[in-house]
Amino acid sequence: MAKTPRDIIDEGRLGKWQIAALAMTIVLNALDGFDVMSISFAAPGIAEEWAVPKDVLGWVLSMELIGMAVGSILLGGMADRFGRRPTIIGCLVVMTTGMLLAPSSTDVTQLSLWRLLTGLGIGGMLAALNATVAEFANARYRNLVLPLMLIGYPLGAFFGGMLASVWLAGGDWRVVFYLGAALTIACIPLTLWLVPETPDWLNEKRPERALERINKVLQRFDLLQLKQLPDPPEKQARAPLVEILQPPLLTRTILLTLAYLTHVTAYYYFVKWIPKLVVDMGFDASAGGGVLTLAMLGGAIGGGLLGVVSLKIGIRKATVISLAGAFVMLNIFGRAPADIAMLGWIAGITAFFSNAAAVGFYALLAMAFPSRVRATGTGFGIGFGRAGAAMGPALAGILFARGLNMDDVSTIISIGSLLSIFAILLLKMPKPAKGD
């Protein structure tokens, strides 16, 4: 039986151009991380300039999460239909537009609209990136490479936050969005250069010159080339979205979506509200940005270590352990003293576990679905998860407006991470199939 591109990549070593392509996905995910967290860095300045109450600010903090939900579902499906590469480029253009227009806002409504647009691009790119990394990595390192790609998210927020904290000392929250727009624009030519279409998608969809295009990528990756296309994959009568919502994928789709939803609801309450909560304790906006930056560093370390640990104990066990740690630490965060050094440590450890668990979900989603519906399945899980996650900052704003303190709000919302553990324990992952 002729080898498929998947067989060749799985059995081969990681070449320098293959590593470069995977490294670029880390950069793109770092860009996503900064673009998402930019509103958190800017929140204290926005609240002060426009006198925004906490319940309204909670919705502003949630708008790009809502956009990400829609983008993951709709644009994630486009990555299965039109290709990973064009979807990523298109999403970068959408993100650039949203980031450039955000500083021109004159009120909360306009700002929310541009954050929604930015979120659409981020959501679509996250789904496409997850599928791309799963298809570029070989079998030996896939469990490691997926988490490594995902630590780009907190790393982007960390390094971007270091710059933002310095610039925010000048008092203008708009500089954060200009920085994000500049970085997004810079990534477009780099992506065109370093990220080709995946051989898995080309083999699955068989566009014009499919064999030539597959071999061009395999040659670039220093891998064996195909003499001819293998037998075409069995055609599915059902559309990708229909397939993931019917047996045998339905249970897997539901459990992963619910587990991701309940955890990231807690995670995004934590990271979105940190700067404002620190300011409410009596510190300035740059101090709030500094605590969030330390949280992002902790998240990056946690996500990276999850990949190493998962090589030893498996991705599901590593994710469950991370969820338990996130639940405990979020409750500790809610009781943190008004000490900026202590807040930084607690925030870092909380994000260590919280982001490690979030990284675990991305890896689980990428491995739970066959290649023909991988971006759709990932986009569905991320999309509906982010729709629920948008309620984290918004719900917290409502609870704060009703007089609840940080302790009470953190305890209530931390239950989401606990519920995720039960859903993951019920999940049955597929055995890796040859050629997938």
| pTM across the whole model | 0.76
To which residue do tokens 């931390």 refer? 414
Contact in structure between 106 and 53 (CB atoms under 8 Å): no
Q: At what angle do helices 16-50 and 250-280 cross, to 10 degrees?
A: 50
Contact in structure between 196 and 83 (CB atoms under 8 Å): no
Contact in structure between 5 and 202 (CB atoms under 8 Å): yes
Q: pLDDT tens track of the chain, all 436 residues?
A: 578 899 999 999 998 999 999 999 999 999 988 888 788 888 888 888 898 888 888 888 888 888 888 888 777 778 888 999 999 999 999 999 999 999 999 999 999 999 999 999 998 898 899 889 989 999 888 877 877 787 787 888 778 777 776 766 656 888 889 888 999 999 999 999 999 999 999 998 899 999 999 999 999 999 999 988 888 766 655 567 788 888 888 999 999 999 999 998 999 898 888 888 998 888 887 788 789 888 988 988 998 888 788 878 888 999 999 999 999 999 999 998 888 999 999 999 999 999 899 888 878 887 888 877 877 887 788 777 777 677 788 888 889 989 899 999 999 999 999 999 999 999 887 765 444 4
**Which amino acid is residue 387, in one-letter code?**
A
To which residue do tokens 């030519």 refer? 189
Element (H, E) at 334: helix 315-334
Torsion region of 77: left, alpha or beta (phi above 0 gives left; psi -120 to 50 gives alpha): alpha
Length of the chain: 436
